[in-house]
């Protein structure tokens, strides 16, 4: 830098000296008549080279993330024991009773339903029942059979005291004879009487269907 400046100053001095020599000549031209020559001195200031800024590399765009694959949720299975109760219907039984009038019915023992206890193992997957297995069962309450009695008794009609083999009223006895006859009773009947069945007392002697004529 100092060497360059010294060279420039020397050039300037030489130029000034030349101008002075011209001014002292005998040409008769005065200094006032000559235009002033101006030496053009160019001073060059060295420019310190600046480092070229390096361009910052543009970051590559981030790679697009691949679509996320959702993993399948593993089924959650649980088991538990469940107890249920089932109704056991009672049975019915009918018996005859000769102390009751024929066709009459009466409940001697009322029927009662029983209960059965059922134990299951239940499988649940994701909150939904998928299986049910019977583990055991037992009768928790025995049913009671209902018993109904049906009567078979037939009432005999009361006897009127008259033998049904004869019309009117011929008494029922070990023997009956016609009144006023030769028979010895012990019972007697006034005739005539119609024989409508068997003449068990032999009241119709002539067998015409009419006794004690």
Residue 124's DSSP bridge partners are 78, 129
SS3 66: coil
pLDDT of residue 204: 87
- In 10 A of CB 195, how many CB atoms? 19
Kindly report, residue by residue over 131-190, the tens digit of the pLDDT: 999 999 999 999 999 999 999 998 766 666 888 899 888 988 889 988 887 778 889 888
pLDDT of residue 57: 53
What are the chain's domains?
1-25+36-45 (no CATH), 77-153 (2.20.230.10), 158-213 (no CATH)
Q: In what order do the strands lie in the sheet with 77-88?
A: 77-88, 114-125, 128-141
For the four alpha carbons of 100, 106, 110 and 113, in that order, the dihedral sign comes to positive
Average pLDDT on 195-206 reads 89
Rounded to 10 degrees, the C-alpha dihedral 11/14/15/17 comes to 160
pLDDT of residue 34: 44
Q: Which of 39, 121, 45 is nearest to 83 (CA)?
A: 121
Tokens of 58: 């543009």
pLDDT of residue 56: 55
pLDDT of residue 154: 87
Q: Is the pLDDT of residue 124 over 60?
A: yes
In terms of DSSP H, where are the helices of 56-172? none
pLDDT of residue 110: 96
Half-sphere exposure of 4 (CA within 13 A, CB side): 7
pLDDT of residue 25: 43
Q: How far apart are CA 168 and CA 179, in angstroms?
A: 15
pLDDT of residue 159: 62
Kindly report, residue by residue over 46-100, the tens digit of the pLDDT: 545 555 555 555 555 555 555 666 666 788 999 999 999 999 999 999 999 999 9
Q: Is the pLDDT of residue 4 over 60?
A: no
Tokens of 197: 């069945």
pLDDT of residue 132: 95
pLDDT of residue 116: 97
pLDDT of residue 5: 55
Residues 6+ apart with CB under 8 A from 108: 95, 147, 148, 149
């Amino acid at each position: 830098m100092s060497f360059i400046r010294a060279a420039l100053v020397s050039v300037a001095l030489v130029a000034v000296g030349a101008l002075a020599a011209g001014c002292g000549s005998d040409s008769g031209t005065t200094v006032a008549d000559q235009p002033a020559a101006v030496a053009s001195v160019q001073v060059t200031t060295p420019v310190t080279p600046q480092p070229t800024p390096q361009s910052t590399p543009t970051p590559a765009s981030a790679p697009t993330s691949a679509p996320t694959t959702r993993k399948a949720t593993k089924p959650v299975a649980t088991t538990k024991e469940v107890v249920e109760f089932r109704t056991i219907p009672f049975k019915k039984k009918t018996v005859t009773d000769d102390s009751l009038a024929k066709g009459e019915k009466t409940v001697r023992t009322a029927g009662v339903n029983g209960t059965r206890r059922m134990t299951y193992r239940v499988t649940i997957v994701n909150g939904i029942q998928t299986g049910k297995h019977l583990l055991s069962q037992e009768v928790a309450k025995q049913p009671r059979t209902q018993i109904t009695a049906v009567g078979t008794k037939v009432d005999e009609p009361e006897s009127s005291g008259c033998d049904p083999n004869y019309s009117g009223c011929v008494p029922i006895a070990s023997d009956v004879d016609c009144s006023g006859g030769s028979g010895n009773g012990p019972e007697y009947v006034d005739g005539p009487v119609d024989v409508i069945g068997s003449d068990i007392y032999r009241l119709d002697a002539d067998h015409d269907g009419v006794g004690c004529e």
